[in-house]
Structure 1
């Protein structure tokens, strides 16, 4: 994240990271065939993404939708410059992941900022989780793997309501001290609003110099793009999203999908901001996902397509 000291007409570049193959697929009611996952991930690689969250080392009985993570990692064929990321839920997951160390470049460890959501999600207190993930983070760094962190419910908790900003940033500082080079702030159930997002990312930049800060918004209440714009204007240049607006949060019910990658990229391109992505190929990948799932997905760009002049402006 850079300070917001741009001059008029400056060429702007943002990073858009794709999380659909993990965050999106895990929330689908049916299990997607391994070959379909591989085809979809390869299509995302062809669209120009430089990082894709591919798999999670969770127990297969807990999240059967991701039980084929190793097969997917072995089967995908991505360009050499694409960073493959995996989510690690606990120490056992870390050990399992390190057994196939050559299949990915980055690991994500996570915690919820609120006690209630953390208990509902992984049945542990925030303090218990942080004690575990700080030790795991140091192990990740020692293994030469990129250590990324995610703080869920950073902008509000469905059980507790407002989550204090200072508490979220305290957790972020603990992750940074343990070696995390990037920290994502998740609007896990879509409770953020643009005014608060702007204040949050300005404060985060002051508290976490040298750490890459990533915005991860959900569109549960239709404010996803507005929140992304607010983060952008506050200086954030790293975003996570999910093609087709896939995903959500398993707890509680009603927490619908992530912000749509194709809608986010379309907005940036129309603003003249470079993402390095081929929007038409991103939309094509989302349409393929729609065919695989056999139902209509909720992003706008799947229906409308790209604004034809936007790519020329962005570049």
Structure 2
């Protein structure tokens, strides 16, 4: 079975191997890192099957993600739980790892809705309560070694940066990396969602947190900062609202606000490296046609400069808001 060209027959056979029937509606969903399909089973309802990209996570790492989800659901965090068959939630078909979830109904999360933002904060507080006592021993830590130094090596070998821009690009990138490595010094780390943005949240009688594929260990603020946007004053209002919900469950260490811009820099560089590393996958040139163009790399020079300025600015402070 070819991961890069999964056929409907292969998907149906994989589902049948664990006793599920694809009765209608087999449809590919918008996912790049894995291959994800929604279908209808007359017996089990609407389901979503995820085929994991070979070589990215081990079976133990995927199982740890699922175990984290089970612990979160027990603590009343709104997460979708993978189906279990014969006490297993990670399955293998033709050497390919996959899992199946019930489809979550809901509408798009409104990041500018303060009521929804406060409810999300409460859920993240519950998530981190569990994360503080549920170590992810098989998963990596959110680190500058991975998100910056490893990512730089990928960009050197895989990115198609025009020769006339390459020297200046890496000069600015190295300045960003050096500054971020100095500033990113988390005091406490716990198990996180780690990719908590609006596209990974649905609203149905409250927020539902989806797609824990990137879960790992890191500082609590990692699950908060991607909800912030707009001017500094707008971000402070959003942060205050998030923390009103969060601190109804768990105290937040405000010193972690100084990690927001280092974390943004890490995500930015890691994202560039992710696209470069996946460029041989046919799905990536088709869905990211703007990447690896001269205009893209010229724009990244400006983006790196802007982020260096943000790293030099004073961090967000709740005292300046309150």
| TM-score of the alignment, normalized to the shorter chain, above 0.5 | no
Q: TM-score, normalised by structure 2?
A: 0.32
Give the structure with higher Rg (CA): 2
- Relative to total residues, which structure has the larger helix share, 1 or 2? 2
